[in-house]
A and B are shown apart, each in its own frame.
Chain A
Amino acid sequence: MTQDYRRFLRPEELSRIDRLEIRARHIVEGFLSGMHRSPYFGQSVEFVQHREYAQGDDIRRIDWKVWSKTDKYYIKQYEEETNLRTTLVVDVSESMQFGSGAMSKYEYGCTVAAALTHLLLRQQDAVGMVAFDDAVRSTVPCRSKKNHIHSILQGLAAEAPREKTDINVILQHVAEQQSRRGMIVLISDLFAPREGLFKGLKMLRHRGHDVMIMHIMDDEELDFNYAGTTRFIGMEEMGDLVCNPKALRQGYIDAVTAFQDEIRLHCARTVVDYQTIRTSEHLDAALSQYLNHRIGMRQSVRN
């Protein structure tokens, strides 16, 4: 697996993304004290609010200054910071095997997953992984140990990839496993029925997960720069088509754009982070841009 690790995450790239940090946009529930906001109040310097004393409260938290003025017992509540539990949901289906450049979408997706794992583990957050095609292929539970990355990368190994059917099933499976609110990162080309995808995303958000979609697309899938009569053999049993690609290019690009717009719109509605990443982009540049942008959007939302 060391080889896989080297393959997906080269040291020079690691050095360039080391300074990045992944912050949960939403409040997450962790076991450990970390850099992410927790739904719970606890030991911290960050004052949040006063609450009237109730029985059972720790009397050490009574704000005596308030009692002296009002003759009532109030306790001071402070922000608790916890660690992040992130689940990487990685698409290893047949369509991800497509690649016109140096890396296939699958390889690029694995690289992204490895980079995120590395970052999260460095922040001492817990990372788990679910690899899927038509069903869940492998599952790696959340751990925050430094060497957990090896488990993750091992779980990404895809053999005999198959077509995707319904992502909703996969996402339901993920939700059931993640009883506590955390971050779900979906790394896929999203070539699956949209209804299931949207349904699953909605469900995840409903459960309070912070959902991030890394939409991996190949250059040719976006630009469609083919020329000359070509027979396109569909992956995932999509059928064949002999055509002049130049003639169909504009229609194709329109269809892809519509596809992206539809997902982007839905993600915006359900407060899901969405990013299209080209396989030709440098990983560090793509992650830097995305994560920095995400930090900029960070809100204090407590729900």
Chain B
Amino acid sequence: MGWLTSLTSFFVNPAMVLPGVALASAPVIIHLINRMRYRKIRFAAMEFLFASQKRNRRRLLLEQLLLLLMRILLVLLIMFLLARLVLDPEKMSLFRGAKTHHVVLLDDSGSMREQIGETSAFLASVEIVQKLVSEGRQRPDSQKLTLILLSNPTAPLVNQENINDELETRLETRLENLVCTHQHFDLTNGLQVAADLLANDTESIKHLHVISDFRRRDWSDEDAISKRVAALGADDVTVNLVKVVPKQNNNIAITTLDGSLRVAAASVPITFRVGVTNYGETTIAKLSVSVFADGTQISKSVELSEIEPGQEEIGELEVSFNTPGRHSIKVSTDVDTLSQDNERYLVFDLPSELPVLVVDGAGGSDASRNLVDALEAGDCAYKPETQDPTFLRKFPLDKFRTVYMLNVGILQPDAVDRLQEYVAGGGGLVWFMGDRIEDNYYVAELYKIQQRFGDRIGLFPAPLGETAVELSRPEFTNPGADLAFEPISIFAKFKEYFRSSYFNVIRIKKYYPLRADWSEDDKVRKDGVQTIARLRNNKPLCLVHEFGEGTIVTFLTGADDEWNNWTGDPAGLSFLATIHDMQKQISSRVGVSRQRMVGEPIHAEIDLTKYSKTVEIVAPGAPPVALEAGPKDADSTDLVDAGSMDAKTSDDTSKTDSAKTDSDSDSAPKTAKSNVYFANYADTDFPGVYSIKLTTLDRETEETTFAFNVPPEESELKLADTDDIRKVLGDEATVQIQEPGNFSWLEGKEADQEIRHFLLACLMFFLLAEQLLAYKLSYHPKSSGTDT
């Protein structure tokens, strides 16, 4: 039956070949039957008949043979058309030679959840896979299938299995249970895995079917995709891009949900920012975003007026929570074609108070009192604590949201180390000048830190001048402002305040100049230090720079009357506004959740001296799952996929002494302590709030929560049309692009497209030629008269 198998290389319907060949003998048989069945006529003029036969024998033989051949050819041509001949087996999608390897790369990223009529893009993709298997099954064991999900390309769902009835049955159940993820994946990774897999297969004819929605965003990295596709082409792989989304739909997504959480506390109103992006092509006139606090919808909602296409509109809403602890916020809009991005979640810890350390170098000076007054003013939870510099050496600074250094002279090295550790870990630090400032010490010890690969800016941003100087003032009654705020992003509101009349009455009396060799132009210096505010003589007054993960703000003036009138009347209100606004920007991130995307694994470290090994995880809309923590990170739980172990997570909220989830530092040893066990939970595909419950040895439950949101990349539904894809791929001949709803490629229809037209033309030509020849060879009596 080898020859029958080889027929499948050239015919889409090889079953038609044998009957067709049998039919080709019909003209011969008809000829033979005619020779056997004849009528008899007694004839007199045989002499002339013999003469004619003798004369025409060769010509007749040739003509009759030609006619016979032509009729056989006609039957064969019709057979070729019905059996759908394909001259070039490379072009056949399914029915190819000895072995054909179909690798299907199925896109299961979040955008594939888009609704298309009554189905979704993903279900339509699954249906195509089923059809492909169903078609391939008709040629059992001549086709093999590898099914790769873009979410997990290294672990194929089906790995090089022969397509037959058994596979179809088995795959049917698996495909029905397949669920599209909410995550964002890079198409190039999937292509690379498929290319590697196909490169190892040297015996088969290779096809790669990429079934995806082909969003324009996926085709932005032109080089990466075109290189991989070119590599596939060089490896004789036919790439078949199968589109499943027929047209682009409008989509809106909640892309931003954050708030002033650095300074949030119980009973303090928190301003939440809700950003909605319009990914459609029409302007959205009005949109209401519902807000759920701790699972309960509140009466207020975020109203957005007009969102232009491609733009994000931000709305704000103040919500206060009365109790300290873990809280969650959920915002949602009306559901559209892509529902998962119409909700967004945020969880955070609310402390009862926000400790702030004020280190007063002079000890109980006016400056510290002014600052404490400013911090305690208003409806907020700051709890300032004034200490002398020795406090820095004795007590941990972690609990403080911000540390203010007022008029501090020389610090002990261990105090400096602690301060550096505190700021590098995310703490906020603010410098105010005073008469105890030692400029040489600041320059030598605080300005720069010597490192192996060069110096970097330390806790103090610039080299101080020798002494403070008075700000010259030609005319004291001049109503103009003494300082001007620079338009720096994180302190943008400073600029706004500057417009107000409060800032106009600020009078700076003394300030510390910076050394002459220090360039005052941020763009020239490029050391990461930014000037926030300048004096009327254009000298810097306020600087900001990052140190580690923390932020340091430096005022080159003091906080009391001796230096300026900022803290007293009538400018005091502006000082208060500045301090509070600054607090929001530089406060320690403790208690503020990082934005998590779906798919990131939850990593928990458990101190066995305080907790039991069992961890209970409650996913949104799912029953609780119990995990057993293990001593090693990798085999901590049986529910974690191997592929997710590579994922790194960073900081988290619930840092307790004994149990923490998601280590806050990559450098933290994961298998360092024998009494610390690890648990990983990777099934975080659904957006929502996940809850992890630890049980203490005293049988008490401690719960912490995480919010997982969908990536904004998957909300952009703009489609890449065929021209876009062709532009990226160039003139790669081995790439076929199938339009949505077109399944002819599955049936191999496109393969015989070219030859079909040729065969039809041949058929018409030979039909005409046969008729002409037959007419010529046959006798047609003249209509008028007889010839004698």
| A residues lining the B interface (CB < 8 Å) | 94-98, 105, 189, 191, 218-219, 221-223, 225-236, 238-239, 241-256, 259, 276, 278
Q: Which of B39, B45, B779, B787 contacts A231 (CB 8 A)?
A: B39
Q: Are A229 and B40 in contact (CB under 8 A)?
A: no
Q: Which of B38, B49, B777 contacts A252 (CB 8 A)?
A: B49
* Inter-chain pairs besides A225-B781, A233-B41, 10 sampled, C-beta below 8 Å: A98-B42, A98-B43, A223-B787, A229-B38, A230-B39, A231-B39, A232-B41, A234-B43, A235-B43, A276-B788
Residues of A within 8 A of B37 (CB): 229
CA distance A96 to B46 in the complex (A): 13
Q: Are A234 and B46 in contact (CB under 8 A)?
A: yes
Q: Are A233 and B55 in contact (CB under 8 A)?
A: no
Q: How many residues of B contact A (CB 8 A)?
A: 31
CA distance A167 to B467 in the complex (A): 160
Q: Are B44 and A233 in contact (CB under 8 A)?
A: no
A191-B45, A229-B35, A239-B46 given; A251·B40 CB < 8 A: no
Q: Which of B42, B53, B64, B779 contacts A227 (CB 8 A)?
A: B779
CA distance A216 to B39 in the complex (A): 25
CA distance A254 to B781 in the complex (A): 16
Residues of A within 8 A of B779 (CB): 225, 227, 245-246, 249
CA distance A100 to B90 in the complex (A): 65
Interface residues of B in 761-788 (CB under 8 A from A): 777-779, 781, 786-788
Q: Are A252 and B35 in contact (CB under 8 A)?
A: no
Q: B129 to chain A: closest CB distance in Å? A: 59
CA distance A234 to B34 in the complex (A): 21
Q: A134 to chain B: closest CB distance in Å? A: 15
Q: Are A230 and B40 in contact (CB under 8 A)?
A: yes
Residues of B within 8 A of A254 (CB): 52
**Any A CB within 8 A of the CB of B60:** yes
Residues of A within 8 A of B63 (CB): 247
A247-B64, A251-B52, A251-B53 given; A189·B38 CB < 8 A: no
Residues of A within 8 A of B35 (CB): 229, 242
Q: B414 to chain A: closest CB distance in Å? A: 121
CA distance A250 to B779 in the complex (A): 9
CA distance A222 to B778 in the complex (A): 18
Q: Which of B41, B44, B51, B778 contacts A230 (CB 8 A)?
A: B41
A219-B786, A234-B43 given; A251·B38 CB < 8 A: no
**Any A CB within 8 A of the CB of B453:** no
CA distance A95 to B44 in the complex (A): 5
A223-B786, A225-B781 given; A233·B43 CB < 8 A: yes
Residues of B within 8 A of A229 (CB): 34-35, 37-39
Give the 5 A-B residue pairs with the shortest CB-CB distance, closest first: A251-B52, A234-B46, A238-B46, A255-B48, A95-B44
**Any A CB within 8 A of the CB of B744:** no
Residues of A within 8 A of B48 (CB): 252, 255-256, 259
Residues of A within 8 A of B49 (CB): 232, 241, 243, 248, 252
CA distance A230 to B37 in the complex (A): 9
Q: Are B53 and A241 in contact (CB under 8 A)?
A: yes
Interface residues of B in 63-106 (CB under 8 A from A): 63-64
CA distance A7 to B60 in the complex (A): 44
Q: A81 to chain B: closest CB distance in Å? A: 37
Q: Which residue of B lies closest to A219 (CB)?
A: B786
Q: B375 to chain A: closest CB distance in Å? A: 119
Q: A265 to chain B: closest CB distance in Å? A: 17
A191-B45, A223-B786 given; A255·B40 CB < 8 A: no
Residues of B within 8 A of A251 (CB): 51-53, 55-56
Q: Which residue of A lies closest to B55 (CB)?
A: A251
Q: Are B53 and A248 in contact (CB under 8 A)?
A: yes
Q: Which residue of B lies closest to A104 (CB)?
A: B44
Q: Are A189 and B44 in contact (CB under 8 A)?
A: yes
Q: A98 to chain B: closest CB distance in Å? A: 4
Q: Are A231 and B781 in contact (CB under 8 A)?
A: no
CA distance A95 to B53 in the complex (A): 20
Q: Which residue of A lies closest to B781 (CB)?
A: A225
Complex A-B: 17 CB contacts under 8 Å:
A97-B44, A98-B44, A223-B786, A228-B38, A229-B37, A230-B38, A230-B39, A230-B40, A231-B38, A231-B40, A235-B44, A239-B46, A246-B777, A251-B52, A251-B55, A252-B45, A255-B51
